[in-house]
Structure 1
Amino acid sequence: MQFMIFVGAAVTLVFNIPYAWATVTGRVRPNKVSWLLWSIAPAIGFFAALSKGWTWGQFPVLISFSSTALIFLCSFINRKAYWAIGRFDFICGVVSLLTLIVWAMTKNPNLAIALAIVADILASVPTLVKSWQYPETESWEPFAAGVFNAATSFFAMSIWNFTSLAFPIYLMVVNGLLAIIVLRKKWMKGANHELSR
C-alpha cells in the first residue's frame, strides 16, 4: 500500500516541477497569495504531525508543501510570472493566515482539521477566481496531480474517521475543481471548433 504513496508523490513532482519551470519562463502566472498559503498550511500540518513521530502517511504532505513552496519561490524569478495581488486577494490571505493561527493554537483535532480546510479554501479563492476569468494563465496538470496525490493518502490510513478523511477528500475536491475550471476554456474552444466546421 505504501507503494501508492510513492506513486502519488512522483506524479505530483512530475507535474509540479514543469509548472515551476513554466512559472520561471512566464508561461503561467500563479497567484502568490494562494501558492504561499498552500505551502504554509501543509507545512504546519506536516511538522505538527512529525512532532509525534514519522509515518509514511506524512510523505504526501511533505511533497505537497515542498513542491508548492518551489512554485511560490519561482514566481519571484520572472517579473511577468505572477498575478497582480488586489484587495480581494489580500483579504483572503489575511483571513486565511488568521485561521491558520487559530488552527495552530487549538488542541481539538477535529476543529484543527476544519480550520485547516477553511484556511485552504480562503487560500484557493484567489486562484479559483483568476482561473475562471483567465484560464490561460494557469495549467491544469498540477491540480490533477493534487487529486491523485490526495487519493493516495487513503492507502496509508489505518483509522477511518473525520480527522483522517476530511482533508484528503477536501484536497481531491478543490484540486479537481481547479483542474476543471482551467480545462473548461480548452473544452469550449474544442466545442466551438466542431460547431464551426
Structure 2
Amino acid sequence: MIDTSFKLLFSGLAIALALVAFVPYVRSILKGTTRPHVFSWFIWGITTVIVFFAQLEADGGMGAWPIGISGLLTVAVAVLAFIKRADISITKTDWLFFAAALASLPFWYLTSDPLWTVVVLSVVDLFGFGPTIRKAYESPHQESQLFFLSLALRNCFAILALESYSVTTVLFPLSITLACTVLLTIVVFRRRTVLA
C-alpha cells in the first residue's frame, strides 16, 4: 500500500503535468498553430468536471484533484477555441454526444450511484475524441504531440494518487490515457505520411 505522502506526490505530479500540457497548448492556440475542435473540448470539459465530483463521492481523495483542475483547464480551452474560431465544425453526432454528457447529471441523481455516471461519461468522453481523431488524421500538424503525451502521463499519476481504487475512480483516467495514446499514435503516424 502506498502511503499518503506518495499519494500527495503523485497528485502533485499529475497537476504539474496538466499545467505543463495546457500552458504550451494554450499558447499554440493563441498563435494559431493548434486549432482544437471546439465541441470535443466542451464535451471533455463537462465530462471531466462531472467525473471529478463523482470521484470525490467515491472517495478518490487527492487523486481526484488533478481531474478537477484538468476539467477547469479543459473548459477554458473550449472557450478559447470558440473565441479564436478554431475548428467549429459541429455535426449532428457532436450534438448527440453533448446531450449525452448533459444527460448524465440527472442519471446520477436518479441512480444515486456515481459508478454509472462515470461509466456513461467515460463512454461519452471517448466519443468526444471522435471529431479530434478525424481532424488529427486529416491535419496531423494542427495537434500537439507533447500535449496528449502529457495528458496520458498525467492520468497515470492521477490513478496512482487515488486514495480509493474502484471502477468509479479508475475508469475515467484509464480510458483517457488509452484514448490519448491512440490519438498520439495517429498524429505521429500521419505526420510521417502527410506534408505540413
Shorter-normalised TM-score: what interval? 0.7 to 0.9
| 1:136 aligned residue | 141
Distance 1:95 1:133, change over 3 A: farther
Task: Give yes or no for contact 2:42–2:78 (8 Å, CA) kept in 1.
Answer: yes
Distance 1:147 1:26, change over 3 A: same
Consecutive unaligned residues of structure 2, counting only runs of 5 or more, are: 1-5
Task: Give yes or no for contact 2:30–2:84 (8 Å, CA) kept in 1.
Answer: yes
Q: Give the TM-score taking structure 2 as reference length.
A: 0.82
Displacement after TM superposition at 1:48 (Å)? 4.4
Displacement after TM superposition at 1:9 (Å)? 1.4
| 2:181 aligned residue | 176
Q: Give the TM-score taking structure 1 as reference length.
A: 0.82
Distance 1:52 1:167, change over 3 A: closer
3-state SS in 2 of match to 1:76: helix
| 1:74 aligned residue | 80
Range moving further from structure 2, 106-115 or 167-176: 106-115
Alpha-carbon distance in 2 for matches of 1:132, 1:100: 32
Alpha-carbon distance in 2 for matches of 1:162, 1:189: 39
Residue 22 of structure 2 is aligned to residue 21 of structure 1: no
Distance 1:76 1:83, change over 3 A: closer
Task: Give yes or no for contact 2:36–2:81 (8 Å, CA) kept in 1.
Answer: yes
| 1:195 aligned residue | none
Task: Give yes or no for contact 2:58–2:164 (8 Å, CA) kept in 1.
Answer: no
Distance 1:103 1:120, change over 3 A: farther
In the alignment of these two chains, the number of paired residues is 189
Kindly provide the amino acid, as one letter, of the partner of residue 91 in structure 1.
L
Consecutive unaligned residues of structure 1, counting only runs of 5 or more, are: 191-197
Alpha-carbon distance in 2 for matches of 1:172, 1:147: 4
Q: Which of 52, 59, 63 in structure 2 is aligned with 1:57? A: 63
Equivalence map 1:140-179=2 (5 Å): 140-179=145-184
Higher RCO structure, 1 or 2 (CA under 8 Å, sep 6+): 2
Residue 51 of structure 2 is aligned to residue 45 of structure 1: yes
Deviations 1:78-112 (A, max 9, x none): 23x23422334333333443345434543234322
The alignment's C-alpha RMSD in Å is 2.5
| 2:40 aligned residue | 34
Kindly provide the amino acid, as one letter, of the partner of residue 69 in structure 2.
I
Distance 1:160 1:51, change over 3 A: closer
Alpha-carbon distance in 1 for matches of 2:105, 2:131: 17
Q: Which of 102, 111, 129 in structure 2 is aligned with 1:124? A: 129
Kindly provide the amino acid, as one letter, of the partner of residue 172 in structure 2.
F
Range moving further from structure 2, 169-178 or 126-135: 126-135
Task: Give yes or no for contact 2:141–2:191 (8 Å, CA) kept in 1.
Answer: no
Alpha-carbon distance in 1 for matches of 2:109, 2:189: 37
Q: Which of 11, 15, 20 in structure 1 is aligned with 2:17? A: 11
